[in-house]
Amino acid sequence: MKKKWVKLVLASSIDGRIAYPEGGKTQLGQSGDRLVLEESLAWSDGILMGGQTLRDHQSICVIKNKKLLKQRTLEGKNKQPIALIASNQIDFPVNWIFFKQPIQKWLIQQQDTKKDIMLPNGFDKKINLKITWRDSLDDLYQKGIARIVLLGGANLISAFLLEDLIDELQITMTPHLLGGNYCWVSSELKNLNTIMNKKNNWTLKESKKLGNNELLIRYFRNNLS
């Protein structure tokens, strides 16, 4: 089987923000960012996103590029990776665009015997969240999901960082200064460097201009002690 790999993909302002100060849906990247995002989606088996991010956007990113769709078909994959929504909320409005998108939808939530009886409306599958995300990733791996694109939000990203589960950062720097509190790592996380200890090293693998004054940077996690 393929190696397990978690790739964080996001577009950020110059000052590290991913949303406007008032919150809600924010679209920072332009066409170049969209292409590298779709390339990552085409590489992946699953797209992992938190419930609040879904509530903000009411949809998930899907592959539209015909060449990438054909590539996945030739590789024997479904046209779209599986949408993995991590949320304890189960009553998402089924009239959202998300539930009309041509993609499998799995809900990941903490086990609750009262909610375990029925599959929430609009979802194809429900998975119980394990004690740690590491264990949950092992569970997903057994279900054929090895390559995961992590799209946010900040609390979910922070949880993965705390368990040292992110293998790659793919960040598009956009020509915006937004201010506010919406960074891609939770502002409540004060001791990340201490928690990750000496392993807090990243190796630059790629940097390139995407047009529209956007810059792509890719870092791989250096897990060597």
Q: How many Cα neighbours within 13 Å face the side chain of 25?
A: 7
The pTM of this model reads 0.91
Structurally, the chain folds into a number of domains equal to 1
Strands 125-129 and 147-152: unpaired
Instruction: Give residue 47's domain range.
Output: 5-221
Quote the CA–CA distance of 48 and 80 in Å, as a whole number.
13
The pairing of beta strand 202-211 with beta strand 82-86: unpaired
DSSP of 18-60:
SS-TT-S------HHHHHHHHHHHHH-SEEEEEHHHHHHHSS-
The pLDDT of residue 1: 67
pLDDT of residue 153: 87
pLDDT of residue 197: 62
How buried is 98 (Cβ within 10 angstroms: 0-12 exposed, 13-18 middle, 19+ buried)? buried
Phi, psi at residue 157, to the nearest 5°?
-60, -45
Distance CA(193)–CA(196), nearest Å, equals: 5
Q: Tens of pLDDT along the chain (225 residues)?
A: 689 999 999 999 998 887 777 776 777 888 999 999 999 999 999 999 999 999 989 999 999 999 999 999 999 999 999 999 999 887 899 999 999 999 999 999 987 655 555 788 899 999 999 999 999 999 999 999 999 999 988 889 999 998 999 999 999 999 988 888 888 887 777 777 666 665 668 899 999 999 999 999 999 988 754
CATH code: domain of residue 74: 3.40.430.10
